Structure 1
Amino acid sequence: MERELDSKHQHDEETQKNNSIYAEKAEIQDYKADAIEAENIEHNQTVLQAVRAYPWATFWAVVFSCTIIMESYDVFLIGNFLGQPAFVHKYGVPFTGKGNVDGKVVVAKWQSSLQVSGQLGALIGVMIAGPITNAIGYRWTFIGGLMALNGFIFIFYFSNSLPFVFAAQIIEGLPWGLFIANAPAYCSEIVPIKLRAPATQMLQMFWAIGSIIVGGVTYVYRNGQDERNYKIPIALQWMFPTPLAILIFLAPESPWWLVRKGKLDQAAKSIGRLGRKSQVNIPETVAMMRRVVELEKSDKAPSHLELFKGTNLYRTLIVSGVYAAQNLTGNLIANQAVYFFEQAGISSNEAFALGLITSALQWVMVMCSWVLTSYFGRRPIYLWGSAVNCFLLIMLGVAASVGGGKAASLAQASLGLIVSVLFTLGAAPVSYALIGETSSIRLRPLTTGFGRAIYYIVEFPCIFLASYMLNPQQGDLGGKCGYVWGATALICTVVAFLYLPEFKGRSYREMDIMFNRRVPARKWKKYVVDINDDE
């Protein structure tokens, strides 16, 4: 009797389990049809149709991208301070050789240390960004970072020694890490397929805007030795965090994050706030997101260890490689434009003016890159941009090797400006599109954070090397540093040619499937994924 009851109980459990499985499969089939419809709509949209359908998504992408202004502002601020008379008078040592400012120069070790200090803090910030974002979402992570930054600026403002400035920059870097890790992820998640590239490339445009603002501010306060000439530019950082925090409080959370958390109703409301309800079918769009999330589903919570397992390793290497390459294909010359111009023989006033012109041209180039990337795709623009910069960097070295004189100095300054500008037409903005798209939805905050950490790890020795090469007390290479960066740019270009896929027009479902099928990078453009495939 007991055996019969046990057998019956076991049979009932199996029946209930099978019914649950069948019900789940039926439910999946119910929303799969809607998911297919939503994905087809996004594939068939033009860029203008996507903008009309998702006007608020575009607006919120701009708002979240504005957080990048603060890191850009401070990075360029420190670089410009190294050539500003008031700052050099306060913290420099007497020096009578080339490149001094009013008879002084900040010693090489502090030049390098100050330029990596903020990035040291940001390195910590990007590594904690993923776990924090997975737990509380993008909005509250940004708001917390902005409020913390308000307090950290006080420490920088009241610094009165180079070690104090160094420490203040490290602390300020913590929220920068949260912003730079999450901004590309958030922007790529709130827009449809055709707007992913422009939305993420805006990050480079706002980086340029930050450099324009700081270039104008430091140009106004470039003369004189009063400490207010560098205190005021520091204090102006307070104009960013509070207004941005208020706007982000009003912003919708990423619907992809909400779907990952199983909050489908809230995801639907978020989509309704991002697009026009008359042009966006909200239930179908939620179904499309749910389909991808189910495709990537795991019983385990997302962790950094997953970044190095299976096909996630390839995706992690792409994000990390693209980030690292920014330091090796012209970015450092762009970040040290004013100091570089001075070492090329340009006067301090002319160097600051050229730095401001460079930043303005970079802003225009980023907008041009939107059109190029939307039309030609990510891979060709990235490869051609890197190759051209490689050539120009070598030409910069040649110009510095042919002899001295005003003509040689102007040639070096011109090539330095061109390298800085073209970097923001090709490799730089496309990098953010690639960074925002490459990772799986499930691991996106962790992948973008880890990739940015690699950026800083590569940047640290590069900054020390760049400062050593340019400093008149050390390498004194001037434009000859173009040979070094030209060689590293060549290596990055070759690696990208071999391993960088084309993501233009691909849904996140298609990308998941193609990575799982291990499609070679050079075959991505023509590879066909059936709309019904789920793997």
Structure 2
Amino acid sequence: MSTDIEGKAHHGEAIEHHTDVYDEKKGVADFKADAILAENAEHNMTVLQAVKQYPMASFWAFVISCLIIMESYDVFLMGNFVALPYFITRFGVEIPGQTQIVNGIEVPVKVIATQWQGALQVSGQLGALIGVFVAGPLTSWIGYRWATIIGLMLLNVFIFSFYFANSIAVMFVAQLLEGVPWGIFIANAPAYCSEIVPIQLRAPATQMLQMFWAIGSIIVGAVTYCYNGVENDSAFRIPIALQWLFPTPLAILIFCCPESPWWLTRKGRLEEAAKSVERLGRRSQVNSGETVAMMRRVIEFEKSTKRPSLLELFKGTDLRRTLIVCFVYSAQNLTGNLIANQAVYFFRQAGISVNTAFALGLITSALQMIFVMFSWILTTYLGRRTIYLWGSAVNTILLFALGIAGCFGKGQAANYAQASLGLIVSVLFTLGPAPASWVIIGETSAIRLRPLTTGVGRGSYYIVEIPCIFLASYMLNPTGGNLAGKCGFVWGATGFICLVTAYFFLPEMKGRSYREIDIMFQRRLPARQWKKTIIDINDDE
């Protein structure tokens, strides 16, 4: 997205350009010259200049990121429900031979059965797995805006079934249905955010997704903290009903937002793409003709006579891109994320009291949001690969430390050591691997295959997450493995494998235009050579 360096005089020339660039008979060399100007302008921008010149792009990225609140809210909601006293009383099973004193009366100890605890937490992911594979073809056909609006309207309907559920089985089905629109949101949000902003804003725009994931968990933490002492159905009905706060306002906002100019350019709707660029930036400071020319140049480079298809993702250089996206998504489940998602339940099994566990869960979520903001600076200036590798390394060490702490029994000191390490792992995950992942996902895929690639990538996330949730639930549940902090050994081992894989296969894409990224994949450059490789501005292969 180019900058008008010379002010309004140049803008007058740009308007004349604006109509020229859409003449389909115009030679490739002509719009290539404009594309070079636009790409150079993006490279020469500072972060602050990019924000000032594209304020609405930042705003619409913020709005789209709000979609992630809904999936985050529900993921953490189910994680908190299995630790919520009344929910356990209502739907739990007795542990043979164990009792507790409640209000002076000895009563059996109850827990949510291991199989249902895992099932409740994977039901939404199963639905989302369907949703992400629907998202790719649907978005390629009707665009990001309408695909997202359809998902939001469906979500409004599906919340009813969850709210009125009176058994765990019905809750399972309700969560499965809610998961379908979540899949659409999670597949489209990083792709849309990365397409509407200039190079310097791609990191913070896509990392906002992780920040809103933390915000969703903060809302859940606050609500369940308030209701953990309630002893009637309101303890879980009201947190469920609060989901209705999000879909309709977001649908109205997204109806007003511009479609991705990259999507419009792919469809040959160049005039609409230019108008979209002008809505994203300050009209006096952007040259929409040059910007669309830059998009045309990349799309011509990727041009194919075939319609985008899932099969194409697994051929040639696109296979490498697909594998990177799938790896980064999947690795989120193996480097500390599941401890973050089950923080309250983890704290309970580490021997922390109910109120303290919910308070620590809320503190964890608040710290995650703050650390995501720090990650904007780190990713923008240090790079994606750098903070991903260092963040994963630190988390792996801490996970092994958590496992060691879990070997020291159930004393107060050991309990607090496990809780502290669990909190630190959950928070540091949002400083390194998690936010860097969103940027990598948004940048790696080819433009013409982006909706399909992000859909398949998120699908791989759920395929890995579903068995991992059952494993995590089994390891923590008293009726299962009852490992508490010793689960750190398992996640430390998987985290180490992910770290080694990332070191050899994850390239550095900081400061690269989509044209440069395409060329480097086409040249099959090894991941560790990307940072020092120079791509000439005139190169198209």
> Quick one: distance in 2 between partners of 1:483 and 1:279?
54
Q: Structure 1 residues 100 and 111, CA, compared in 2 at 3 Å: closer, same or farther? A: farther
The farther-off stretch of 274-283 and 178-187 is: 274-283
- C-alpha displacement at 1:225, in angstroms? 2.0
**1:196 and 2:202 correspond:** yes
- Asked if the contact 1:338/1:354 (under 8 Å) is kept, the reply is yes
Aligned counterpart for 2:468 among listed residues 462, 471, 476? 462
Amino acid aligned to 1:485:
W
**1:156 and 2:159 correspond:** no
* 1:474 aligned counterpart, secondary structure: coil
* 1:316 aligned counterpart, secondary structure: helix
Match of 2:488 in 1: 482
Match of 2:224 in 1: 218
Q: Structure 1 residues 140 and 98, CA, compared in 2 at 3 Å: closer, same or farther? A: farther
> Quick one: distance in 2 between partners of 1:98 and 1:411?
27
- Asked if the contact 1:342/1:351 (under 8 Å) is kept, the reply is yes
Match of 1:279 in 2: 285
Amino acid aligned to 1:447:
T
- C-alpha displacement at 1:277, in angstroms? 1.2
Match of 2:411 in 1: 405
Match of 2:89 in 1: 89
* 2:229 aligned counterpart, secondary structure: coil
Amino acid aligned to 2:312:
E
- C-alpha displacement at 1:425, in angstroms? 0.3
- Asked if the contact 2:312/2:318 (under 8 Å) is kept, the reply is yes
Q: Structure 1 residues 271 and 74, CA, compared in 2 at 3 Å: closer, same or farther? A: same
Aligned residue runs from structure 1 range 339-418, under 5 A: 339-418=345-424
Deviations 1:17-41 (A, max 9, x none): xxxxxx9896111111000000000
- C-alpha displacement at 1:98, in angstroms? 9.5
Deviations 1:138-194 (A, max 9, x none): 000010000110000000001111110000000000000000000000000000000
> Quick one: distance in 2 between partners of 1:327 and 1:275?
37
Match of 1:125 in 2: 131
Aligned residue runs from structure 1 range 178-257, under 5 A: 178-257=184-263
Deviations 1:411-432 (A, max 9, x none): 0000000000000000001000
TM-score for the superposition, normalised by structure 1: 0.94
> Quick one: distance in 1 between partners of 2:434 and 2:195?
20
Amino acid aligned to 2:280:
L
Match of 2:307 in 1: 301
- Asked if the contact 1:99/1:472 (under 8 Å) is kept, the reply is no
Deviations 1:176-229 (A, max 9, x none): 000000000000000000000110010000000000001101111111320011
* 1:443 aligned counterpart, secondary structure: helix
- C-alpha displacement at 1:104, in angstroms? 1.2
- C-alpha displacement at 1:304, in angstroms? 0.2
> Quick one: distance in 2 between partners of 1:307 and 1:32?
27
- C-alpha displacement at 1:399, in angstroms? 0.6
Deviations 1:113-141 (A, max 9, x none): 00000000000000110000000000000
Amino acid aligned to 2:39:
E
Amino acid aligned to 1:134:
S
> Quick one: distance in 1 between partners of 2:293 and 2:99?
64
> Quick one: distance in 1 between partners of 2:100 and 2:128?
30
Match of 1:59 in 2: 59
Kindly name which structure, 1 or 2, has the bigger radius of gyration based on alpha carbons.
1
> Quick one: distance in 2 between partners of 1:147 and 1:301?
29
**Runs of 4 or more above 4 Å deviation:** 23-26, 96-102
Aligned-residue RMSD, C-alpha: 1.4
Match of 2:119 in 1: 113
Match of 2:511 in 1: 505
**1:492 and 2:498 correspond:** yes
Amino acid aligned to 1:326:
Q
Match of 2:18 in 1: none
* 1:224 aligned counterpart, secondary structure: coil
- Asked if the contact 1:97/1:472 (under 8 Å) is kept, the reply is no
* 2:413 aligned counterpart, secondary structure: helix
> Quick one: distance in 2 between partners of 1:89 and 1:153?
23
Match of 2:71 in 1: 71
> Quick one: distance in 1 between partners of 2:101 and 2:206?
40
TM-score for the superposition, normalised by structure 2: 0.93
Match of 1:267 in 2: 273
Instruction: Say how many residue pairs are matched.
Output: 513
> Quick one: distance in 1 between partners of 2:223 and 2:234?
12
- C-alpha displacement at 1:339, in angstroms? 0.3
Amino acid aligned to 1:445:
P
Aligned counterpart for 2:320 among listed residues 299, 314, 329? 314
- Asked if the contact 2:351/2:410 (under 8 Å) is kept, the reply is no
- Asked if the contact 2:389/2:503 (under 8 Å) is kept, the reply is yes
- Asked if the contact 2:392/2:432 (under 8 Å) is kept, the reply is yes
Q: Structure 1 residues 254 and 98, CA, compared in 2 at 3 Å: closer, same or farther? A: farther
- Asked if the contact 1:99/1:343 (under 8 Å) is kept, the reply is no
* 1:434 aligned counterpart, secondary structure: helix
- C-alpha displacement at 1:403, in angstroms? 3.3
> Quick one: distance in 2 between partners of 1:196 and 1:147?
28
Which structure 1 segments of 5+ residues have no match?
1-22
> Quick one: distance in 1 between partners of 2:212 and 2:448?
27
> Quick one: distance in 2 between partners of 1:284 and 1:65?
28
Match of 1:15 in 2: none
* 2:447 aligned counterpart, secondary structure: coil
Match of 2:31 in 1: 31
Amino acid aligned to 1:47:
V
- Asked if the contact 1:99/1:342 (under 8 Å) is kept, the reply is no
Match of 2:183 in 1: 177
